Structure 1
Amino acid sequence: MKFATFNAQGRERCGLVIAYPATGQEGRAMRLALDGIGEVSGNTDEYLLFTPHILAFVSARITLFPGDVSTLGRIASRLEVSAEQQLPANARVPMTIEGIGTVTSPVSDERLSAAPATNN
């Protein structure tokens, strides 16, 4: 299964497809949580574009397979990690759409790998 992975900056990679209107899944609650940091929530009705149109555009350019998952927009507001906070080791982000399921993805704090080296 392909799925989106998220870090403190946003989406890095994704595969494609949850076609909620075509399957009667409109108006579903969505939730994204980050271990020990917080969560954001929204609703599939908040998408700005009609899902079948988005999928038609994408599938004309990319081959989609059964089990591919699509991110069609962000869930509500951003989930920010402040400069004082660090992600727990082995942090995971469960992304849930009510009535469809949950995909959980590991995340890492890229700020740690970007820290300048110190000379002792």
Structure 2
Amino acid sequence: MPAKSDDQHDIDIKYLSDKPVKASSGKSTYFSVGGTGFIQGMVVYIARNSDGSEKVDVEVLPDAAAVSTDKLWPVVAKPAYGLDPTDPKKPLWVAIKLNNQFKDAYQGFLVV
């Protein structure tokens, strides 16, 4: 049986370590994404929509000081300085792409 290509690789976000994640504009916020299928090369980002569209100006990088696994992915998010706060009734989405293909998103990110 051939191995799945990255395009067929399943990634499923099940939770965020903070509910919701609250990130201050211009400051680093550490949190973890929990789920299944996480692998090197995937890109975590913040989006306005559940389909991963309308990317928000928040830099999200892997947390180099933490250990990542296929079920837990620690990251550091830094909203751009001056980014408007998020309406708490409409949290943003933590989204993942692999090889520029949208894989999954989970709602629960606020810029405060």
TM-score normalised by L of structure 1: 0.43
Give the number of the structure whose alpha-carbon radius of gyration is greater. Answer: 1
TM-score normalised by L of structure 2: 0.45
